[in-house]
Structure 1
């Protein structure tokens, strides 16, 4: 069957197909069904995607790593031209290159061409900007056609997760689906159950959809700004009274999609000019070294790994001995919760909006289905649970539920 479900995520991507009436995610990198949404461009042409892309960067190979590609959708960055290897490409072309490579891998895995797709999308690509939202979806639609898909249908990611969860229940209920991913947090309230699953049109079962552009990369960014960037001079004083070191360098360094901006020679000259007028130039030396050695993505990766690690251990340490002997930053779950409490609260606040949109109160929700990597953060789960104290919490496949649900939807829409 030529149909598939594609979950192009900020952090990871999955693609599922239908074979002999059954839906399944395809292995896209070795035996792994998830592939990091990353691409590495080699200086003399050619590219690598996924873990191979990140591995090339970590190994110190010459080239350019790009991650969190989905974050530029709906922003002015989408058509911005950037240097990758010998070419100058727009971010839109970079996204097309990545998704196109994923499609080819999927076709090799299933043994036939894929021409029909149910493509996942967040409830809002851009908060409070309907025009930007439409532009983001249209860009993804155009890219999908360019790489060979003939029929393209979009489905909200939390609705897709609901379709996956529905296969697990043998009764009817109202569920709130919380999909907290790398770039967005999306919620849907939907009636589920065996009787509903047989319906061709599920529109009447969907009671509410809402979301906010906050996800795992925002938590990474906040941790980096609070814990790491002060070690590189953020917030330190200039020699001139009442002035601090400009913060823009640090905000770019803490944001996956803007790290490469710092590698422009003109930016490095600006940082060195700041160093000359800094009251603590030894801290700015660390920033200079990070940029000169192009360690930005490695630093962001270390922050992300530390955040993930705190799901299993109470304390963690990020070594910075490549900057300075014995330099390290230690923090724990309590610090993480404190640094990112505002983000968790803003995510949970969307549940109230979703309930109001559905016209029901919290007691009417039977279950909360949690999916997306950021639902592993303890304080995020607690914030969601506090909004729906009577609902049963169900944990789905953190990285696979949306892709599986999109594939279920593809079977329903394109199936024979």
Structure 2
């Protein structure tokens, strides 16, 4: 029986597949063209009455096809939205968990094509906490994800913490034993595991005692994306501008416009009417004019994409020019790493505090951590990675594959469980 390992991520997903009849560790397979990762996105194209996934989903939405784009699906698990339905276009609706199932089915179909037959066993990654400080909601989130996976044909499902999976990938490169803090910062969660690793330990089937501690917070890349959007493009639409009485313009519309899964709600007649009723508050008439155009032409997700590009452009230093010509010709603004770091300082502090809390709960001194292993797309933000590394002064900073380390580690774990 062919088995697989699935990294269902908030921003990107990957899948590792066993090669039948061989002792090899499951390898990552292409999920979109030659790409080994797939953006976790579904677009319900109502113009052509079909669903598309990944990069194609985002491209068709940006190209102006009518429909509904869904991203950050993982962040819905464990919340009140998980049991709700959402509009997908043409008056139709679908439960959020069923949409997650559609995406998992797309991943599994790629695995089955590659395997040439059924794939029914899987190790699936999960964050340390789907939901912070709510064990009941966290357990519900895993149950919802498992139910979605079973609905598409997976029968034997085992979960593993994503940062622990990343530790398995790191361990495969070592020739000595050490204590490593795995830092896995993705789109929705920042997860940390303190793990004892080494070449002799690889051969052990049971590794429970090597996991010294794990902790996490529901603050990560999408939160920083929101901070960047608010610090850049939203200011040109009137965020934190003052009204005629010197008060700050109500900011709910800007926070929603900076949040992927809330953007579409702004296009409802009710929310459009709410904005119309506050247009008179603005001192600068450019701001409500631009915002009205964004809502009328449904430019919200495109603007989040613009701010995400700005984040990436300055992630390792320097500055960039944010192009907002989609809203108004010749509209742009300067943006740099220092501005991003200031905007995201509160989120960064929470993430660093969670890293420290991991070692505290494990009873390990920060000075005794030998390595900090970074994985997850958001660890590419220099200001954030540097802040974490500074908290562990004796540790070597090691960069894993930002998008594939977890999937590779889940594959290693899947081989130990199912490869016998």
Q: What's the TM-score, normalizing by structure 2?
A: 0.96
Give unmatched runs, 5+ long, in structure 2: none
Contact 2:6–2:124, Cα closer than 8 Å, also in 1: yes
Q: Offset of 1:312 from its aligned partner? A: 4.6
Counterpart of 1:222 (choices 215, 220, 227) is 227
Q: C-alpha distance in 1, partners of 2:360/2:77?
A: 28
* Equivalences for residues 271-350 of structure 1 within 5 A: 271-312=275-316, 314-350=318-354
Name the Cα RMSD after superposition. Answer: 1.4
In structure 2, the partner of 1:247 is 251
Structure 1 SS opposite 2:277: helix
Structure 2 SS opposite 1:307: helix
In structure 1, the partner of 2:104 is 99
Contact 2:316–2:382, Cα closer than 8 Å, also in 1: no
In structure 2, the partner of 1:212 is 217
Deviation digits for residues 153-200 of structure 1 (CA, Å, limit 9, x no counterpart) = 111000000011111001111111000111111000111112111111
In structure 2, the partner of 1:40 is 43
Deviation digits for residues 98-143 of structure 1 (CA, Å, limit 9, x no counterpart) = 1111111221123221101111000011111111101100100111
Q: Offset of 1:280 from its aligned partner? A: 3.1
Counterpart of 2:31 (choices 28, 33, 36) is 28
Deviation digits for residues 38-94 of structure 1 (CA, Å, limit 9, x no counterpart) = 010011531000011011012111111111111111111112221112321121111
Aligned residues: 415
In structure 2, the partner of 1:378 is 382
Q: C-alpha distance in 1, partners of 2:385/2:240?
A: 32
Is 1:8 the counterpart of 2:11? The answer is no
In structure 2, the partner of 1:145 is 150
Counterpart of 2:176 (choices 171, 190, 201) is 171
In structure 2, the partner of 1:237 is 242
Counterpart of 1:400 (choices 386, 397, 404) is 404
Q: C-alpha distance in 2, partners of 1:306/1:236?
A: 22
Contact 2:231–2:339, Cα closer than 8 Å, also in 1: no
Q: C-alpha distance in 1, partners of 2:174/2:223?
A: 33
Deviation digits for residues 173-228 of structure 1 (CA, Å, limit 9, x no counterpart) = 11110001111110001111121111111101100000111111111101111222
Contact 1:27–1:106, Cα closer than 8 Å, also in 2: no
Q: C-alpha distance in 2, partners of 1:52/1:322?
A: 20
Q: C-alpha distance in 2, partners of 1:250/1:121?
A: 31
Q: Offset of 1:247 from its aligned partner? A: 1.2
Structure 2 SS opposite 1:115: strand
Q: Offset of 1:277 from its aligned partner? A: 4.0
Give unmatched runs, 5+ long, in structure 1: none
